[in-house]
A and B are shown apart, each in its own frame.
With several copies, the nearest count.
Chain A
Amino acid sequence: MDFAFTEDQQTITQAARDMLLETCTPAGLRKMLEQNQALDAARWATITEMGLPGMLAPEAAGGLGLGLSDFIAIAEAAGYAGLPEPLVELAGVAVPLLAEFHDDRGWLARAAAGEIIAVGHAANPFVTDADIAAALLLGHGNEVHLLAPEAVVLTRQESVDPFRRLFRVDWAPGPETRVAASWGLTAERGALFAAAQMIGLGQRCIDLGVAYAKDRNQFGKPIGSYQAVKHLLASAQVKIEFARPVVYAAAAELDLASLPARARAAHAKIAAGEAADLAARSALQVFGAMGMTWEVDLHFFLKRALALKFAWGTPALHRGTVLSRITSLATGPDATFAAELAR
């Protein structure tokens, strides 16, 4: 029992985090929007060179052969940076799915090398980044189909988060497009990594709020010296502190695929969503009217959090999973860990 990242994990996370924070700045985000870019090619090249898209792919496919726990804090850092590129969806969702296929038709290696694979799972009404995907994994009943971009018709659906590139995908399944009979744990991995991003987003909102509260004076002193402002931000930080370990635990347990493991991912999604929501709204209150403007960076993170809260299963759906876990399986202090319940 060791609930801490290994040194290796810390090293790779720190490197990825440093790279993301250095290359992905709010100023850069604004520039991408002005130039209507979906992807920063230089950053994506760096991400790919670091091997991040293939972290969870087996070494045979050119990946690093690592597990969910190795990538979870990188997903958190991607949220913290407000990363617009679909690294988390590619490395955390598409790659593990491709790795489960009997025949991935070569796409696992291509994904691990940074080619974007869009994932159209029934949990989400639209497909993100479908317009920049080299291939699309789409659902037909329970089946997974693999489509080439030429074989689908895309209709853009504007999101409040301009970096969320949502599309309705019209396509026709055929025997030749079918690649798998089921999605496995795709929905749970989607929820888990959305949760990780939300932890990062929430923490970023708090950090922005704290910086502003130190700087902004009203009634002759920094607003951060008022108890009301302090307590707003402190309460949000408490929410983050008790959501983050759930996310990390869910990453460590999900591969067990049991109900306790799936309930943990559900819990992670609920808790991270609430924490990010509270953090974003608390920071907004600290920023005051400035926070409502396009000029201040807060909205990039607030809007991403809003969208991710409902992506990969609503809070209501995930609550249902938790409720069925606690009413059908043992609870209590010796029933905390999924691995122990699986014995």
Chain B
Amino acid sequence: MKLEYTDEQRAFRAEVRKWMAENVPAEPLASFDLTREGFEAHRLWERKLNDGRWGMVTWPEALGGRNLDLIRWLIFEEEYYRAGAPTRVNQNGIFLLGPTMMEFGTEEQKSRFLPRMAAGEDIWAQAWSEPGAGSDLAGVSATATLDGDHYILNGQKIWSSRAVFADWAFGLFRAPGSERHKGMSLVLFPLDAPGVTRRPIARMDGELVFAEIFLDDVRVPVANRLGDEGQGWNVCMATAGFERGLLLRSPARYQVAASKLVALYEAHKQDLPASMGERVAQNWMDAEAYALAIYAMCSRLNAGGKIGPESSTNKIFWSEMDIAMTQTALEILGPRAELMPQAPDAGDVGDWLEDYIFALAGPIYAGSNEIQRNIIAERMLGLPRG
């Protein structure tokens, strides 16, 4: 137990900080969801990261990574968020599919997909959920029908973030006639393939941040299947572990938000009740607790441990913290909380409202918190299944 960085770790932080200071765009990039231009600007940023070997620091050096341990990954993320660097347009690829492919992919798949993913040449979307299969992912009905050395994909996928402009997607499909967890395969398909139609879905605030994908006799080679035939559920669960557990939710993100919240409180505290300070302190403590828990988890993983059902505790904690934190900000803003950032008198409302709306999705996506609590109860505590 030594809660102090080594000199090497400190030097690494300085290196990241210097690179970010020199490279992070001064102005925020345009949204990657709204326009092709914004999307391509983010792709360029992925390329720039990759050129500096900052694309995915935990990846092997041969793939443009630095083969770093998770503590350095945390330091990298801390500096990334501290610098206000752009959101990773390829997070579905580098954080979810990449690690899954390293575990389950063939050598051919790794060399075909990973370097292009790292370089931002392929931007990936996720195609798991379906209108009839949300929390119950084993209820997917989209099919992959074997036809020689090809699959014919049919069905509808939903909640595919980035899918409107992305290049590739990975999705869960089932053999016709198979049921529930059996007979599923994880299949990769290009989003510009014949038979693929993409439609953006508007969020409640009008932002287009999700998409639907319709698949109508889409042909892809069998070599695009990740993992064995019929093993899609297991592969998918491994990916879900990455999603809710760690990689998509680095603590730095919440610590930056907590710092902003402290600043917001300081700016308005003369008009606020004393209890608001206690709420802000609680939000900050939560962000710290999350960071400490992740540092402890990364220390354990570095020593050879595995992520287990505690990734479900992470998911519940960050999603509830995110709501609590953004709610405090709205309380501080009071009657200005309802303002959109473009309102002429928005002042310092910033993105808190959008962050709140996004936070409201936290207990829903990546496995609803109800499902996560079931997992904790059954797999951590050993309670009987319903």
Residues of A within 8 A of B353 (CB): 160
CB-based A-B contact count at 8 angstroms: 298
A168 to B132, CA, bound (A): 45
Residues of B within 8 A of A285 (CB): 363-364, 368-370
Instruction: Judge whether B383 and A224 touch: CB under 8 Å.
Output: yes
Instruction: Judge whether B382 and A238 touch: CB under 8 Å.
Output: no
Instruction: Judge whether B3 and A1 touch: CB under 8 Å.
Output: yes
Decide if A49 is an interface residue (CB 8 Å cutoff): no
Instruction: Judge whether B3 and A249 touch: CB under 8 Å.
Output: yes
Instruction: Judge whether A241 and B335 touch: CB under 8 Å.
Output: no
Per DSSP, are chain A's interface residues mostly helix, strand or loop, or mixed? helix
Instruction: Judge whether A230 and B340 touch: CB under 8 Å.
Output: no
Decide if B113 is an interface residue (CB 8 Å cutoff): no
Per DSSP, are chain B's interface residues mostly helix, strand or loop, or mixed? helix
Q: Which residue of B lies closest to A6 (CB)?
A: B1
Query: Given A4-B1, A231-B377, A242-B317, is A218 in contact with B139 using a C-beta cutoff of 8 Å?
Result: yes
Q: Which residue of B lies closest to A159 (CB)?
A: B338
A125 to B347, CA, bound (A): 12
A176 to B277, CA, bound (A): 45
Binds B, one of A16-24, A91-99, A143-151, A308-316: A308-316
Query: Given A158-B342, A289-B365, A306-B338, is A235 in contact with B373 using a C-beta cutoff of 8 Å?
Result: yes
Query: Given A248-B1, A294-B202, A302-B204, is A322 in contact with B262 using a C-beta cutoff of 8 Å?
Result: no
Q: How large is the interface on A (under 10, 10 to 19, 20 to 34, 35 or more residues)?
A: 35 or more
Interface residues in A208-260 (C-beta closer than 8 Å to B): 210, 213-214, 217-219, 221-231, 233-235, 237-238, 241-243, 245-246, 248-249, 251-253
Instruction: Judge whether A245 and B295 touch: CB under 8 Å.
Output: yes
Residues of B within 8 A of A303 (CB): 204, 338
Decide if A40 is an interface residue (CB 8 Å cutoff): no
Decide if B276 is an interface residue (CB 8 Å cutoff): yes
Q: Nearest Cβ distance between residue A255 and chain B, in whole angstroms?
A: 11
A314 to B376, CA, bound (A): 31
Decide if A2 is an interface residue (CB 8 Å cutoff): yes
Contact pick for B373, options A156, A230, A295, CB 8 Å: A230
Decide if B331 is an interface residue (CB 8 Å cutoff): yes
Instruction: Judge whether A246 and B383 touch: CB under 8 Å.
Output: no
A interface residues with partner B (beta carbon < 8 Å):
1-6, 9, 69, 123-126, 155-161, 164, 166, 168, 206, 210, 213-214, 217-219, 221-231, 233-235, 237-238, 241-243, 245-246, 248-249, 251-253, 267, 270-271, 281, 284-285, 288-295, 298-299, 302-303, 306-307, 310-311, 314-316, 319-320, 322-323, 326-327, 331-334, 336-340
Q: Please name 24 pairs of A and B residues whose Cβ atoms are closer than 8 Å in the assembled complex, sorted by A.
A: A3-B298, A159-B339, A159-B340, A160-B339, A161-B338, A166-B343, A168-B344, A210-B382, A218-B134, A218-B135, A221-B384, A222-B383, A234-B376, A242-B293, A267-B285, A288-B364, A289-B365, A298-B204, A306-B330, A316-B276, A327-B277, A332-B256, A334-B13, A339-B4
- Shortest Cβ-Cβ A-B pairs, 4 listed: A299-B204, A230-B377, A333-B78, A294-B202
